[in-house]
Amino acid sequence: MNERSPTEDLPSPQLLAERAFATLQRFLHVEAVSGCVLLMAAVAALVWANSPLADSYHALWHQPVSIQVGPFVFSRPLHFWINDALMTVFFLVVGMEIRREAHEGALSRFDQAALPVIAAAGGVIAPALIYLSLNTDAVRGQGWAVPTATDIAFAVGVLVLLGRSIPVNLRVFLLALAIVDDVIAVLIIAFFYSGGLGLAGLLVAGFGILMVLAMQRIGIGSALGYVVPGAIVWAGLLMSGAHPTLAGIALGLMTPVRSMPLREHPLQMLARIAKELQGSDALRSKDTHHLASPRRQLRLAEREMLPPVVRVQTALHPWVSYGIMPLFALANAGVSLTGIDLSAGAQSVMLGVGFALVVGKPVGVIGTTWLAVRLGWCRLAPSVSWGGVCLVGLLAGIGFTMSIFIAMLAFADETLLNAAKLGVLLGSLVSAMLGLSWGAIYVRRRRNMLRAGRGDRAARTPRTPHRDRSPAG
């Protein structure tokens, strides 16, 4: 007797809605798609800032947005709330990514992390030196860190566009490199682009961190419970003179990598509650009083099936990739090309940033990787060739989001800032095109080698003699 699937009894509109939602969920976690959305936001900003509506573009981001609690009023432009508040969530995800990779990912073992760390260091030093060689002036020299960062969304998105022929280990290498780049970028922001630190603000931030630690200690696992202490850490860093987005990094690194200990395993809890409900009349009678306790237990078990760092990161990923980062690009990539001043100083900044991204990043990444392997410090992972290392080096030159963010911290002068942004846009675009071009060649060569390898194996394999299965006559 054939059993009917439970889904057969569902109305067709509901089935279509469930399938559409599942497809959307898969779609939102594709890196290539998020990279395309980020690119479209940047293009939209450029078009808007160079259109007859350019005045409305600049006026929008200077609109004041206020928070008032009784007599206390905190008013800042919309641009501040995007760059200093919403980007804290972006840095929170970055911090959790670092925490996760350091615990169980590509950075969890020294032999796995050594090569990406060395490559990332080279990818920071070489661009900085190239930029400083073209900008020896003290004011322009403040932008030395602009071309040192790698945009994970763009770089991984371009890699995904090359198809499934890219080895998994090469993708891991790029991710680890980009994550170490983010770590270095955060340290640069903390040590070189934060003002004099005020003691009162640091005490407030420290109090918020103690609140987080205390809440973790007593077993509060809901992410919403940490909004208030997170806001206190953010406000404290803002008061201290440090960049408030560092609060996201701090909270991300503090996110637990293990689920909250329970008296029984979450799966066992789910099975027990399901069995209890099946044997009771509460479910059939829809008694809300008797269903309240099992419902709380079910929600707890479901929540603790994943570690907090995975759970929160997964929940925030679509919001960051399709909301915060495109909004940041829309608010900051709008450089007016007609009114930009490319005098000697500004031109040096633009060329320094662009040249450092296009040339400095690949030279630094590939050069230090080759040196580390040649000296016997590290080895390339299986399936990772020098062609793949060259591809990673080219993609590392895509420094969109973090580079623009550092540029806004480095330059107070609007002319130099616009020149740096233009250098970031041009350098990232050229790096992406070079990466796609070389990636297409690399993928084609790899496919040919794999076909040749399969052909050689087939030729060396002895053929089984054909046996006549007809009856003997």
For the cut 50, the answer to whether the pLDDT of residue 42 exceeds it is yes
Could you give the CA distance from residue 235 to residue 462 in angstroms, rounded to a whole number?
A: 72
User: Which pLDDT score is estimated for 469?
Assistant: 42
DSSP-assigned states of every residue in 255-273: S-SSPPP-SS-HHHHHHHH
Note the pLDDT tens digit of each residue in 112-169.
778 888 999 999 999 999 999 999 988 999 999 999 988 877 787 788 778 777 887 8
Average pLDDT over residues 306-331: 85
Higher-scoring residue by pLDDT: 193, 8? 193
Residue closest to 120 by CA, chosen among 407, 361, 441: 361
For the cut 70, the answer to whether the pLDDT of residue 332 exceeds it is yes
User: Which pLDDT score is estimated for 268?
Assistant: 67
User: What is the sign of the dihedral through the CA atoms of 274, 275, 280 and 285?
Assistant: positive
Note the pLDDT tens digit of each residue in 430-442.
999 999 999 989 9
Helices 325-332 and 400-410, packing angle to 10 deg? 50
Average pLDDT over residues 167-192: 84
Higher-scoring residue by pLDDT: 32, 402? 402
Higher-scoring residue by pLDDT: 287, 472? 287
Could you give the CA distance from residue 369 to residue 233 in angstroms, rounded to a whole number?
A: 38
Average pLDDT over residues 336-349: 78
Average pLDDT over residues 305-328: 84
Helices 31-49 and 152-161, packing angle to 10 deg? 120
Angle, alpha carbons 123-80-149 (nearest 5°): 5
Average pLDDT over residues 39-53: 88
User: Which pLDDT score is estimated for 1?
Assistant: 46
Percent of the chain with pLDDT over 90: 25
pLDDT band at 470 (very low <50, low <70, confident <90, very high): very low
Domains of the chain: residue spans and CATH: 29-194+243-259+306-451 (1.20.1530.10)
User: Which pLDDT score is estimated for 121?
Assistant: 93
H-helix segments, 197-307: 199-217, 227-240, 246-254, 266-278, 282-285, 288-303
Note the pLDDT tens digit of each residue in 398-426.
988 889 889 988 998 888 998 999 999 99
Query: Hey, is 359 helix, strand or coil?
Result: helix
Number of H helices, E strands in the chain: 21, 2
User: Which pLDDT score is estimated for 364?
Assistant: 95
User: Which pLDDT score is estimated for 12?
Assistant: 60
Question: Is 0.85 surpassed by the pTM of this model?
Answer: no
Could you give the CA distance from residue 35 to residue 432 in angstroms, rounded to a whole number?
A: 11
Query: To which H or E segment does residue 33 belong?
Result: helix 31-49
Note the pLDDT tens digit of each residue in 375-391.
988 888 888 889 999 99
Q: Which residues pair with 76 in a beta bridge?
A: 65
User: Which pLDDT score is estimated for 452?
Assistant: 73
Token representation of residue 136: 């020896």
Note the pLDDT tens digit of each residue in 200-250.
888 999 999 999 999 888 878 778 888 899 999 999 988 887 778 888 888
For the cut 50, the answer to whether the pLDDT of residue 28 exceeds it is no
Note the pLDDT tens digit of each residue in 53-100.
888 998 999 899 888 877 888 888 998 999 888 988 988 888 888 788
For the cut 90, the answer to whether the pLDDT of residue 38 exceeds it is no
Token representation of residue 117: 């760390």
Note the pLDDT tens digit of each residue in 249-290.
889 888 888 766 666 666 667 677 676 666 665 555 555 666
User: Which pLDDT score is estimated for 445?
Assistant: 87
